[in-house]
């Protein structure tokens, strides 16, 4: 385990750099927009009653049961297609399957899924559909991250960190827990008797397991694959690890801040852009992504300039810590001027601290499980079923 300075950095012109960061905009925009669309489709499906009554027309053969079974079969077909495309280049046995055999195998699986869904549609709608809604985000992140890694030929570290990396693993995890704790303290500032019953609501073992598996494990892996393995890995190849760490550290909080500002402009103030159809949720998402990636590009270029003036002695730790400190101070000042709540500021600064720790940890250990652990721990504290009981215990 080493902290690699600028020996590995590569000088590329501004135009080539912008092209690379433009690819990051496309990747993140696709992840958020398509992930949101998939979630909305699944939410709608979860509300469709699995009855024998026609749902399209009076005498239509498309009853609720048949329609749901068909849609679930199509979703499985799409998942199989994405999985095959991602695994084909890595598994030789899959690449040797002939087209007729592939068609037969796929058709058999889809037909079996349709029959199974038709027979067991009631328990599927009660239990599987709500879980599928929560899986939409992590699955989308994982699928696009793996596709980007394969398309851009980015090496990915999937092995567990060795014994020499234990100090880095502990430090990254501790920082993520401290960041999550700071956010909980910020949330505690709005704790009143009015919300006491909400904060003290109890959760059962099923909710805990759901949060740990989907929010903690799958969410953490999704963020780590997308931001560290895919984006940081690619940027590290073309510009150097220190610039990549700075870019990922800045990208998270600036994108979150831009989402708040764009929401304020287009919704709260009802400005002229609010009447434009595209400037809805998708417009705000893409706008926030563009602003975040632009800030990441500027910081990365600044780190590159600083490296050249300091004889390539700036390490990934220097880059990550400097980016986090500069942006933290800027957000605190902006929050004071703009009147942000403590909760909003603590969330932005918290996710930036986790992003910095995760990106430095990934660069030092070359294991995607390290940032996955950091993101998972943070998400479990601030964005899961465990958040409210923790607040109740604290206050």
Tens of pLDDT, residues 372-390: 999 999 999 888 877 777 7
Measure the CA–CA gap between 331 and 261, rounded to whole angstroms: 12
Query: CB pairs under 8 A, 24+ apart, for 127-135?
Result: 129/42, 129/45, 129/46, 130/46, 131/210, 131/214, 132/42, 132/46, 133/39, 133/42, 133/43, 133/46, 134/210, 134/214, 134/215, 135/214, 135/218
Contact of 52 with 65, CB cutoff 8 Å: yes
How do the domains of the chain map onto residue ranges?
40-150, 159-394
Average pLDDT across the chain, whole number: 80
Residues of the chain by 3-state class (helix, strand, coil), percent to 5: 80, 0, 20
Percent of the chain with pLDDT over 70: 80
pLDDT for 346 equals 87
pLDDT for 308 equals 79
User: Dihedral angle at the C-alpha atoms of 334, 337, 339, 345, nearest 10 degrees?
Assistant: 20
Residues 6+ positions from 294 with CB-CB distance below 8 Å: 21
Which residues on neighbouring strands pair with residue 54, listed in sequence order?
63
Residue 370: name the closest of 235, 174, 179 by CA. Answer: 174
Which residues on neighbouring strands pair with residue 63, listed in sequence order?
54
Contact of 188 with 394, CB cutoff 8 Å: yes
| Residues of the chain below pLDDT 50 | 2, 4-9, 57-59, 193-195, 197-200, 277-279
Q: Could you report the per-residue pLDDT of 234-244, keeping only the tens digit for each?
A: 999 888 899 99
pTM of this prediction? 0.83
Q: Could you report the per-residue pLDDT of 149-202, keeping only the tens digit for each?
A: 988 989 888 888 887 888 889 999 999 999 988 888 877 766 554 445 444 456
Q: Hey, is 242 helix, strand or coil?
A: helix
Rg (CA), the chain: 23
The dihedrals phi and psi of 54, each to the nearest 5 degrees, come to: -60, 140
The dihedrals phi and psi of 279, each to the nearest 5 degrees, come to: -80, 60
């Amino acid at each position: 385990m080493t902290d690699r300075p600028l020996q590995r950095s590569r000088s590329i012109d501004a135009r080539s750099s912008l092209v690379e960061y433009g690819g990051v905009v496309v990747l993140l925009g696709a992840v958020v927009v398509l992930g949101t669309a998939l979630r909305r489709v699944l939410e709608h499906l979860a509300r469709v009653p699995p009855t024998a009554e026609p749902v399209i027309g009076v005498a239509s053969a498309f009853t609720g049961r048949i329609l749901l079974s068909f849609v679930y079969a199509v979703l499985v077909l799409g998942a199989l297609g994405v999985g095959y495309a991602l695994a084909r280049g890595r598994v030789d046995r899959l690449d040797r399957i002939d087209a007729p055999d592939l068609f037969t195998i796929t058709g058999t699986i889809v037909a079996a899924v349709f029959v199974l869904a038709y027979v067991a549609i009631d328990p599927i709608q009660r239990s599987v559909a709500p879980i599928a809604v929560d899986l939409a985000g992590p699955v989308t992140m994982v699928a696009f991250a793996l596709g980007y890694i394969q398309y851009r030929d980015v090496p990915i570290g999937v092995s567990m960190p060795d014994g020499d990396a234990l100090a880095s693993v502990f430090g990254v995890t501790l920082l993520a827990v401290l960041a999550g704790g700071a956010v909980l303290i910020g949330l505690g500032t709005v704790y009143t008797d009015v919300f006491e019953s909400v904060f003290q609501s109890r959760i059962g073992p099923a909710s805990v397991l759901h949060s740990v598996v989907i929010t903690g494990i799958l969410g953490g892996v999704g963020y780590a694959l997308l931001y560290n393995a895919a984006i940081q890995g690619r940027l590290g190849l073309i510009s150097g690890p220190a610039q990549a760490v700075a870019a990922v550290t800045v990208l998270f909080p600036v994108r979150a801040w831009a989402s708040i500002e764009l929401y304020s402009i287009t919704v709260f103030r009802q400005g002229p852009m609010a009447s434009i159809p595209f400037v809805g949720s998708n417009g705000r998402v893409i706008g926030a992504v563009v602003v975040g990636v632009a800030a990441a590009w500027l910081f990365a270029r600044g780190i590159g300039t600083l490296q050249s003036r300091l004889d390539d002695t700036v390490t990934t730790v220097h880059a990550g810590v400097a980016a986090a400190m500069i942006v933290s101070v800027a957000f605190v000042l902006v929050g004071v001027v703009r009147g942000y709540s403590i909760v909003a500021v603590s969330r932005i600064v918290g996710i930036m601290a986790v992003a910095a720790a995760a990106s430095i940890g990934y660069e030092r250990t070359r294991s995607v499980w390290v940032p996955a652990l950091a993101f998972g721990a943070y998400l479990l504290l601030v964005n899961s079923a465990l958040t409210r009981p923790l607040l109740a215990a604290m206050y």
